[in-house]
Amino acid sequence: MEKRQEIISGKAKSVYTTDEPNRLIMFFRDDTSAFDGRKVEQLDRKGMVNNKFNAFIMEQLEAAGVPTHFDKLLSEQETLVKRLDMMPIECVVRNIAAGSICKRLGVKEGIDIIPPTFELFLKNDELHDPMINEYHCLSFGWAKEEHITIAKQLTFKVNDVLKELFLTGNMLLVDYKLEFGLYDGEVVLGDEFTPDGCRLWDKDTREKLDKDRFRQDLGDVVESYEVVGKRLGVNFD
């Protein structure tokens, strides 16, 4: 597989074309970013940890029947993926209140959200990823109704699979963000699933083990990501 041109340089990953038109290489950098790119730091080993963590989760999701863009791990920091036509929206499910929903709706951090909520955000840093609804997607052409319906169903299916998986490691899946795209007309999970895009708490102590450690300057960011992975059986060697 020949790596060619960088086509996207995101906040934590870069994406490259390859000699196969329907395959891309995702390179997980050591960069960690929060608050729409206003806080950025390089954290040693983070690219490797997130790359391997993401591969493990994507394989679990595929096995459970969620179509993903994951093809295979290529190196410590690189993964081969299917080239999707991405929808510019973010799908968020919340099982426990934390983060923006607490500020927006005045709910207390840590309360159970029953049933879990589903929210859509527009992927746009300049506008600080504003919350949108399905009508906005249709009216402005960001996504088609049938594709949103499937993305929503898949996002909830991911919740069923991953809530259970994290429980096996004594962790609570508080919330998470997914991005979807189209591959041959099919809605497929793209981007990544790592502790950068979700909240995970220890079930007993409720210690934060995700990117909130970076956002809130709690320290041990990559160390915590590794603890999460190891509790699930991810091999980082």
36 binds ligand ASP (CB under 6 A): yes
Q: How far apart are the first and last CA of the chain?
A: 23
Which of helix, strand or coil describes residue 40? strand
Task: State phi, psi for 104 to the nearest 5 degrees.
Answer: -65, -45
Can you tell me which of 3, 14, 16, 34 binds ligand ASP, judged by CB under 6 A?
34
Can you tell me which of 13, 26, 31, 33 binds ligand ASP, judged by CB under 6 A?
33
Decide if 211 contacts 46 (C-beta within 8 A). Answer: no
Closest CB to ligand ASP among residues 56, 176: 176
Closest CB to ligand TMP among residues 52, 199: 199
Minimum CB separation from ligand ASP for residue 150, in Å?
A: 24
Distance of alpha carbon 103 from alpha carbon 131, whole angstroms? 13
- Residues near ligand TMP (CB under 6 A) are 90, 92, 99-101, 121, 129, 175-177, 197-199
131 binds ligand ASP (CB under 6 A): no
Minimum CB separation from ligand TMP for residue 195, in Å?
A: 9
Residue by residue, DSSP assigns 141-157 as: TSS-HHHHHHHHHHHHH
123 binds ligand ASP (CB under 6 A): no
Partner from ligand TMP, ligand ASP, none contacting 82, C-beta within 5 to 8 A by type: none
Structure tokens, 66:
């969620």
Helices (H), the chain: 46-63, 100-105, 134-139, 145-168, 212-215, 221-232
Contact positions vs ligand ASP (CB under 6 A): 11, 33-36, 129, 211
